[in-house]
Structure 1
């Protein structure tokens, strides 16, 4: 058994929504997602939001709106890339910059952390580059990541392919000592 330190969870398509941008005021969590986040925290794990949000750079939403949402959901901290695809930042997934920032801030060993996300060529690649465990959920863009877009991350295998956030969290908790 492992002793996990933290879980990084993508937003769109992983805890709710469709896999595409939905403004925080209109975003709806999947059934059981809130309870799953609470279960991780109750087990003593840090739980971090980990999301690309290009709409911030376009002025369609603010970082504060996302932070408020993540606080309501009970996340311990929030790692949000607000940049557009061509801005050349080091935080936008698939870059592991947000994971490295969290590791530095919280003294984490990323090999003892898990990333849960629905997109193989962003979430899973970022986790792989950082040395974290990888859990792909089939919600949101997950099915497409496994089928239509699998060629974009074909060298990487998730540690688990879960039906949803709830199955992912159950797997994590079963492996936590």
Structure 2
């Protein structure tokens, strides 16, 4: 059962956060969880906090992968992690001007609505500044888990930074996300 300080929901970025980033992956057999990711998601689930995924998938707009391929990859991620309470995908490219592509708030807002929670009570966990930006644009909180692709400026700008997903979950569940 969530505690008063824990988030109403935790939303994870997919590529580079939950699973190893394979650029424009359309092949479910290439899905590999990030170290500690399965345990981190299980800890959130065990705490009774709803979980979701918010993922930019511009490969759809660019014609590199189809929506069906992305859905197949997401189904594999679901199978590995035991399912998520909501999936929010942005199929647009950076130039499309949509409201869903991170760092815009659309996917976070839609995930909060799907879960029936206030966006201010949501924590987004991701590996780049766009993940943090989307959380803040929606009025929520964020935890950055840097990877080799994370820019140093993004680390400096983040209010909450974790060394790995398990630490990020501990921070989120303690209500200490930034």
Question: TM > 0.5 between the two?
Answer: yes
Q: Does 1:160 align with 2:164?
A: no
Match of 2:17 in 1: 14
SS at 1:161's partner residue?
coil
Match of 1:101 in 2: 110
Match of 1:89 in 2: 98
Q: TM-score, normalised by structure 2?
A: 0.82
CA RMSD of aligned residues (A): 2.3
Residues 124 and 105 from structure 1, CA distance in 2 versus in 1: closer, same or farther, beyond 3 angstroms?
A: same
Q: What are structure 1's unaligned runs of at least 5 residues?
A: none
Match of 1:36 in 2: 40
Q: What are structure 2's unaligned runs of at least 5 residues?
A: none
The structure 1 residue matched to 2:139, chosen from 125, 131, 142, is 131
Deviation of 1:8 (Å): 0.7
Q: Does 1:48 align with 2:56?
A: no
Q: Tell me, in whole angstroms, the C-alpha distance in 2 between the residues paired with 1:133 and 1:64.
A: 27
Which ranges of 4 or more aligned residues in structure 1 deviate by more than 6 Å? none
Q: How many residues of Structure 1 are paired with residues of Structure 2 in the alignment?
A: 167
The structure 1 residue matched to 2:74, chosen from 67, 70, 75, is 67
Residues 103 and 158 from structure 1, CA distance in 2 versus in 1: closer, same or farther, beyond 3 angstroms?
A: same
**Contact persistence 1:19–1:118 (CA under 8 A):** no
